[in-house]
Structure 1
Amino acid sequence: MSQTNQEIYDGAARVLRESQFRRSIGHRSHKLKQSHLFKKFGRAALWTVGVLVGASIIGGILSGIGFWGVMISAALIAGGIWASMSFPKMKMPTPETILKSDLKSLAGKTEIWLENQRPALPAPAVQIVNGIGVQLDMLSPQLNKLNEGDSAAYEVRKLVGEHLPELINGYRAIPVSLRSQSNDSGQSPDEQLINGLTLIEKEIAGVTQQIAKGDIDNLSIRGRYLELKYDKSAEAE
């Protein structure tokens, strides 16, 4: 393959990978992003209407706004639309904000956070993350059965706002060159990440079933593996 063809191939692969990561992993995150986009459209529309109304009033007073008035109005509209669509940026959820999120937006914010982690994860882990998005969509309606202060709500927030970020952030803290090498436990960080994400996916499914059955009082998050932080103290335990 010539250098030019190789560059074309690499560029196409990069575009394909980036487009993959732009896709939402769940319906809840898609709705949050869609709502933010619609608000931008609304601000752009209000600005456009405001400029047109202002130009009409000035034109009525001055019997027309002339060529430069039209140009200035067009520039104001274009600038306003650009500013409305560019700012403010959507606030990206963090583990801290996820822990404090209301139950209604908890699943969507967790999905958005996970979407931003995908580029740093190995391909098998990305597939599991996409599966976690599906499970979060199924969990979200069940969370309506909980009260904000319930211990069950605390357990769910701890699972997605503490255990899940600790697992992924612990993995990302490991140098790339060491992620495929086995450690003292006999597993590589890549394998530990995949196993941990698989367990979390199952835990979310189990939580959804428990809440659906009304077994809220007995809801608890299981799994010692979730507490693994990829440090020596954890390996020594």
Structure 2
Amino acid sequence: MPETNQQILDSAKRALQDSQFRRSIGNRSHQLKRGHFFKKLGRAAIWTAAVLVGASVIGGILSGIGFWGVMISAGLIAGGIWASMKFPKMKIPTPETIVKSDLKSLAGKTEIWLESQRPALPAPAVQIVNGIGVQLDMLSPQLNKLNEGDAAAYEVRKLVGEHLPELINGYKAIPPSMRGKANDSGKSPDEQLIGGLSLIEKEISGVTQQIAKGDIDNLSIRGRYLELKYDKSAEAE
């Protein structure tokens, strides 16, 4: 049965969304993905070289490998390249691994986790998530000024590894049919999510500016203020 115009439009819309969701929200996540890709490419190159060397050795012993030897070698190379580029899949960081990440990879891993959450978020929230990616890119070089055990490093990890996931996971736990309905606070879960993400985006920007100014000792993420915000979101559930 031929597709209707609406089906064609829906398919095109899904394809566009899939393409948008595959895009990195920041340079740090892009660098991690690129590093993973080149590791797989390196494994494919090593496999190809091993097959060629093996075929050369066998050919030297047998005075040639013949037509079927060439075909088998080509098949082994093709299969090895396919397997090397297909597996292993890049692991999506979890909030638990983000909290334990070293400062060098903290921003990139947070961005990758956020990218995996985009399909479950409303369009306005996705735009803010993209903005958070930009802020994380700006924060990342400033984190080089911190030591792993600094209180400031702990606070940054808490912001992106606890507060941010709690907000998004809390929203995802709400049935989709209820996300657009206002609750007793007068705001819908959609609106509370957007407000919480906007707040976190501003907090990351503020942290970046504070560290850049060398105000490490006085760095505070205003955790109590964020917790109160999230407590309100939790009540909506």
Scaled to the shorter chain, the TM-score interval is over 0.9
Runs of 4+ residues deviating >3 angstroms: 224-227, 229-232
* Counterparts of 1:40 and 1:124, CA distance in 2: 35
Partner of 2:36: 36
Aligned-pair RMSD on alpha carbons?
1.4
The answer to whether structure 1 residue 228 and structure 2 residue 227 are counterparts is no
Q: TM-score, normalised by structure 1?
A: 0.95
Residues 9-47 of structure 1: CA deviation (Å, up to 9, x unaligned):
111111001000000000000000000000001000110
Q: 2:102 is matched by which residue type in structure 1? A: D
Residues 68-127 of structure 1: CA deviation (Å, up to 9, x unaligned):
111110111011101101111111100000000000000000000000000100000000
Q: Is the 8 A contact 2:132 2:201 kept in 1?
A: yes
* Counterparts of 1:25 and 1:219, CA distance in 2: 26
Q: 2:41 is matched by which residue type in structure 1? A: F
**SS of the residue 2:182 aligns to:** coil
Partner of 1:97: 97
* Counterparts of 1:167 and 1:228, CA distance in 2: 10
Q: Is the 8 A contact 2:28 2:137 kept in 1?
A: yes
Moved more, 168-177 or 7-16: 7-16
* Counterparts of 2:163 and 2:181, CA distance in 1: 23
Structure 1: any 5+ residue segments left out of the alignment?
A: none
1:184-195, aligned counterparts within 5 Å? 184-195=184-195
Number of paired residues? 233
The answer to whether structure 1 residue 165 and structure 2 residue 168 are counterparts is no
Partner of 1:128: 128
* Counterparts of 1:229 and 1:83, CA distance in 2: 48
- Identity, % of aligned pairs? 81
* Counterparts of 2:5 and 2:168, CA distance in 1: 36
* Counterparts of 2:4 and 2:180, CA distance in 1: 32
